């Protein structure tokens, strides 16, 4: 939603003393103030829920330029691979002082705070007649860089997190309740419930409008998290560099110069058969684009990924070669030109793990990689100079452009440009459990 916001302006005030907001969010960018939702009358009267510049969650309500209601978490929320369920309950009339404002993250009530809590002493700016309720920005600033799903606003009702999710009895993780049993009141709404729908899914028809850039639909959701590039990966001890990441951490771009840039994925696997697609997007340094797979532990050693034992890459130079455990073939499998797509299919269930590379749906090369046996492996990419990749891990998009004609996928998990090889699936939490 970077540079995009959605708005709806109530035609009458709702309950400004009691309301509940719940949303599922996945972060892409870190280290900057980003607004999830709020309402802005002016700089002295406004309501906002944000990630602040040090990645804490901040809820605040200004009245006459004074923060009369505020929570700032002690914890920092920097996970860019998973989803957070955030619930804010504003209940000024509650007779229990500590319950007048409550925040939950993934089902747990926030107790440890870096500042606050300041209890509500005034009605909130949110839910006022004629003042827009915004998601993704506040007054066209502090845009949210990430994804939102299943946003609920309950006007006049006080709910805790148990209405919107529950603890999975097997994994112990917080999981989504896609159809919570709640009341919405006059100004309540449910949006972003199915893909990029900003039409209110309740009977209230409190529909939002879009401003700024377009909203991109994604298969990535709280119940099926897809692999992306790992925003939290740090430069390793040898000084190798990470690329610029955009579009939900699925596009990587080198910073230029005579340097290699490298990044691993957010999901790893030791069994199963997984497929993803890499679009050779930029013509600059195209010959040195190097996608593949690596033993995840080797991501934290020294040197380049392609020099590690436990790595398999496709090198788009010297006629097109594979590179296994730092050794390059001499087979001239074929190179890719700009906007062609390299498919990567990894079979960890084979007696000897195999990695297959496809060009626009046609098999180029098969690599038998005994060094991957028993390892947790992850997608890995390397670019040189100003090289660029666009990855589709199953969301059905390269950047913000949808695949032109989806191929077949017998697993029913993910959308790809070309036919998914038989028995393979997308690298996602659902795929890991097939």
Could you tell me which of 123, 125, 122, 182 has the C-alpha nearest to residue 150?
182
pLDDT over threshold 50, residue 149:
yes
pLDDT band with cut points at 50, 70 and 90 for residue 195:
low
Output the pLDDT for position 405: 87
Strand extents, DSSP E, 206-340: 209-212, 244-246, 251-253, 260-264, 273-280, 290-295, 311-315, 321-324, 327-328
Sign of CA dihedral 66, 69, 75, 80: negative
pLDDT over threshold 60, residue 235:
no
pLDDT digits (tens, 9 = 90+) for 24-77: 999 999 999 999 999 999 999 999 999 999 999 999 999 999 888 999 999 999
pTM given for the model: 0.91
pLDDT over threshold 90, residue 214:
no
Could you tell me which of 89, 90, 97 has the C-alpha nearest to residue 162?
89
pLDDT digits (tens, 9 = 90+) for 104-137: 999 999 998 887 777 898 999 999 999 999 999 9
d(CA 392, CA 397): 6
Structural domains of the chain ordered from first start: 4-212 (2.60.120.200), 244-432 (2.60.120.920)
Contacts of residue 151, defined as CB under 8 A and 6 or more positions apart, other chains included, come to: 21, 22, 23, 24, 37, 135, 189, 190, 191, 192, 193
pLDDT band with cut points at 50, 70 and 90 for residue 212:
confident
Could you tell me which of 15, 36, 10, 280 has the C-alpha nearest to residue 148?
36
* 113 contacts 74 by C-beta, under 8 angstroms: yes
Within a 10 A sphere around the Cβ of 189, how many other Cβ atoms? 23
pLDDT digits (tens, 9 = 90+) for 253-264: 998 888 899 999
Contacts of residue 134, defined as CB under 8 A and 6 or more positions apart, other chains included, come to: 5, 6, 7, 35, 37, 38, 39, 40
Mean pLDDT to the nearest integer, 133-161 = 96
Mean pLDDT to the nearest integer, 335-355 = 97
How does the average pLDDT of the chain come out, rounded?
A: 93
373 vs 219 pLDDT, higher one: 373
Output the pLDDT for position 1: 53
46-55, 58-67, 270-279, 340-349, range with the lowest pLDDT: 58-67
Output the pLDDT for position 237: 42
Chain center to CA of 106: 16
Strand extents, DSSP E, 247-306: 251-253, 260-264, 273-280, 290-295
């Amino acid at each position: 939603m970077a540079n995009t916001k959605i708005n709806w302006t109530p035609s009458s005030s709702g309950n400004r003393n009691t309301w509940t907001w719940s949303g599922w969010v996945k972060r892409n960018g870190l280290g900057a103030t980003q607004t999830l939702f709020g309402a802005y009358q002016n700089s002295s009267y406004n309501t906002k829920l944000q990630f602040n510049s040090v990645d804490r969650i901040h809820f605040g309500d200004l009245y006459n330029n004074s923060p009369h209601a505020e929570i700032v978490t002690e914890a920092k929320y920097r996970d860019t691979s998973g989803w957070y369920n955030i619930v804010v309950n504003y209940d000024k009339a509650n007779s229990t002082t500590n319950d007048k404002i409550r925040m939950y993250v993934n089902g747990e009530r926030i107790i440890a705070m870096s500042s606050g809590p300041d209890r509500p002493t005034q009605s909130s700016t949110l839910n006022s007649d004629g003042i827009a309720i915004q998601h993704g920005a506040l007054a066209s600033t502090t845009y949210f860089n990430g994804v939102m799903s299943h946003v609920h606003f309950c006007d006049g009702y006080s709910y805790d997190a148990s209405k919107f999710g529950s603890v999975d009895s097997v994994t112990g993780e917080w999981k989504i309740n896609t159809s919570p049993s709640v009341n919405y009141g006059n100004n309540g709404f449910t949006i972003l419930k199915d893909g990029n729908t900003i039409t209110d899914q309740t009977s209230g028809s409190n529909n939002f409008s879009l401003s700024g850039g377009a909203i991109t639909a994604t298969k990535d959701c709280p119940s099926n998290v897809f692999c992306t590039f790992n925003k939290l990966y740090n430069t390793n001890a040898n000084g190798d560099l990470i690329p610029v990441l955009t579009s939900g951490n699925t596009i990587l771009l080198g910073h230029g110069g005579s340097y290699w840039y490298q990044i691993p994925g957010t999901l790893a696997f030791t069994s199963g058969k997984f497929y993803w697609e890499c679009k050779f997007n930029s013509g600059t340094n195209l010959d040195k684009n190097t996608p593949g797979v690596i033993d995840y532990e080797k991501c934290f050693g020294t040197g380049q990924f392609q020099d590690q034992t436990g790595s398999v890459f496709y090198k788009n130079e010297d006629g097109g070669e594979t590179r296994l455990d730092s050794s390059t073939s001499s087979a001239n499998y074929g190179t890719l030109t700009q906007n062609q797509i390299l498919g990567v299919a990894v079979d960890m269930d084979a007696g000897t793990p195999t990695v297959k590379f496809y060009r626009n749906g046609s098999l180029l090369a098969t690599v038998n990689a005994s060094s991957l046996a028993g390892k947790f492996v992850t997608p890995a990419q390397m670019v040189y100079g100003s090289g660029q990749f666009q990855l589709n891990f199953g969301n059905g998009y390269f950047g913000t452009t949808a695949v032109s004609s989806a191929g077949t996928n017998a697993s029913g998990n993910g959308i790809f440009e070309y036919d998914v090889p038989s028995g393979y699936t997308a690298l996602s939490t659902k795929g890991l459990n097939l």
